[in-house]
Amino acid sequence: MLGSLPGRGSVAVNRQKLAEAVRIFLDGVGDAVRGEDLARTPERVARAWADELLSGYAIDPRGIITWEPVEGEQGLVVVQKIDFQSVCLHHLLPFTGKVSIAYLPAQRQTGLSKLVRLVDCLSRRLQIQERLTSQILEIIVETLEPRGAACMLVARHECLSCRGVRRPAARVVTLRTQGACAEPPYRDETMRLLEAAG
């Protein structure tokens, strides 16, 4: 999963090509939108996608999580219900929800805001929920080297809501666990805390 992430540095999103693509899209919609005030729409859409919806591509996620040494044995650290917004790469429709993260420090701990920034970076890309869950967990494991870690996402997908089966109440839950958080005695406590966040 980490191999699919860009290396250190940033990846620029081409706003000019995005605007050109929106012009082609509107041309494809055709007569249904003829006469509408769409002159500035391509540039507006390109700006929204480049500066906001895909802004995570400009950040190296591996550089977000910094750490300090842990003094003594630590218990579970859990951050519940981090809001996120992302765009499904299959239909280019949004999915939104909450991320909850747990990790059991070994020798490293991080600031809580770093976990939120990691979620923001990885979710502001074209994604699928399963991959996003894995990427969050894998970067935490790679950088903090915890005794265990877990990541759960609960999300509402517009591709389930406004197209296809059209079930707006449906929620998708994905879970990844690793190390001590996947095994007794921490597994049950980790799951209890994550499920309470759902």
How do the domains of the chain map onto residue ranges? 2-58, 68-196
Secondary structure class of 10 (helix, strand, coil): coil
Q: What is the pLDDT of residues 27-71, one digit of tens each?
A: 998 888 877 788 899 999 999 999 999 999 999 999 999 999 998
Note the residue count of the chain.
198
Q: What are phi and psi of 143, to 5 degrees?
A: -90, -35
- Contact yes or no for 189/76 (Cβ under 8 A): yes
More confident residue, 169 or 118: 118
- Specify the pLDDT at position 4: 52
**Could you tell me which CATH number the domain at 2-58 has?**
1.10.286
- Specify the pLDDT at position 7: 46
Rounded CA-CA distance 138/117 in Å is 15
- Specify the pLDDT at position 132: 98
**Could you tell me which CATH number the domain at 68-196 has?**
3.30.1130.10
Question: Which CA distances in Å does 137 have to 105, 133, 195?
Answer: 14, 6, 17
Rg (the chain; Cα; Å): 19
What is the model's pTM? Answer: 0.89
